[in-house]
A and B are shown apart, each in its own frame.
Chain A
């Protein structure tokens, strides 16, 4: 569903990471890991067409992507109800119509129920806890795409319990057939449920299954598999 070939990413002509190759098939759970500043977020922005690639190509089979962005300052005190935000996930289905149809409203309702926050629909987004806010944004992302979700550092700023719950939630979504691409720096936690890993380092890029990754030299460098071998 997604093929990336010889991709170089960066800002204003300055490359951050080069020669990235990977592909994602339907139902995959791909995690993008790497040190801070290695280009994880730049890669996501490039995949989402928010930033232009320096070179290489990105081929998408799907049109819409459900995106769960890192929170911005603007959103933190934004006066909007949970319902309004979830509904806005249907924006790409509006076409030339000015208003949402009943089926789009139903979709927002279903996804809020799926995230277990239907009872919060009238609440103001800025008054919710971090975990609840992420669920709202996830419901919105699901409205945008039932097939592919891109999550950018979804658990940063969440406490351990909420983080675990959020991971469970993404695991379930993946099991129900949704392809997930997730950026994270929490490598150990995501080992459990991701089936593919894309590691972006300063000088090397790794792509393969999680098992291959554990055997790779990159994983050894950061001491990931020491427990198994020891």
Chain B
């Protein structure tokens, strides 16, 4: 135990470890806030599809040798999110197929581009870290932390300000339209927020794992609580705890950060699920 604390103390003297904790908690918080809406609206797959599109965009950005990849990745993901959520509204049969097509397509194109126009000696390493997050968190720089801080502040403020509208649109979009207000603006804002969260989380836990951060805390919390507000708050708390625990464990056991956080989320989900079942019975 004492050894563990010593190890942690040693690591926390490095600024990049502190950065990782800050970034991780911010991302976990933002993603869990939106997760509840996405899961309830039956849009869980959109997070997955979007993260693959973001991967493709990132590959294009690295081929173009852009200094700041988010300049390209963020707008592309936002636009895709808007398009996907719009087709999702009048859910036709092809809706889920469209998402699957888009996400696999983006993945394939991204991987191909990274291979053909490889800029580094270790292509598979690059791909792996884009998909599953950086194996080490040493790469985080102050400017990443600042960007993450600003964007997650935007998401959180938007979420609080739009909270009542998000609830109404999530529960019953037709009702909102019938009262004479357009639900489009709210859907647009939800799409923008999701895209931001995915782009943020991608660098950290990787594009394959980010949708786990979105979905798991929401599901855990939904199996325990029954009002929307408590579900949202609890899923944020659980997500932050899992992210924090995941980072600490990954430092101690030298496991990949993203995967460790997701495993923590999964374990917590199993616990919540069992408690929910026992309580329900």
Contacts and interface: CB of A to CB of B under 8 A. Distances in A.
The answer to whether A and B belong to the same complex is: yes
Interface of A: 45, 48-50, 63-67, 69, 72, 74-75, 78-81, 83-85, 87-89, 91-92, 94, 98-100, 122-124, 126-127, 140-141, 144-145, 150
B281 to A, nearest CB: 14
Interface in B212-258: 222, 225-229, 231
Contact of B231 (A67, A79, A98, A144): A79
Nearest to B175: A67
Given A79-B222, A79-B228, A80-B227, A50 B178 contact: yes
B41 A91 contact: no
B228 A74 contact: no
Interface in B72-113: none
15 contacts: A49-B178, A50-B174, A64-B180, A67-B174, A67-B175, A75-B171, A80-B171, A81-B226, A88-B167, A88-B175, A91-B164, A94-B164, A98-B164, A124-B227, A144-B179
Contacts, number: 97
A65 B227 contact: no
B162 interface: yes
B176 interface: yes
B177 A50 contact: yes
A91 B162 CA distance: 11
A78 B225 CA distance: 11
A189 B243 CA distance: 58
Given A74-B41, A92-B181, A124-B226, A84 B174 contact: no
A91 B174 contact: no
Nearest to A92: B179
A83 to B, nearest CB: 8
A72 B222 CA distance: 18
B179 to A, nearest CB: 4
A98 B163 contact: yes
Nearest to B179: A92
Given A72-B172, A91-B165, 12 more contacts: A65-B179, A75-B172, A78-B228, A79-B226, A80-B227, A85-B171, A92-B179, A94-B165, A98-B163, A99-B163, A99-B164, A144-B178
Nearest to A51: B90
A65 to B, nearest CB: 5
For the complex of A and B, list the 6 residue pairs with the smallest distance between their C-beta atoms, beginning with the closest: A124-B226, A67-B178, A92-B179, A81-B227, A48-B178, A88-B168
Given A74-B40, A80-B171, A88-B168, A64 B179 contact: yes
B153 interface: no
Interface in B172-195: 172, 174-181
A10 to B, nearest CB: 14
Contact of B228 (A81, A98, A123, A150): A81
A124 B177 CA distance: 24
A91 B161 contact: no
A92 B161 CA distance: 15
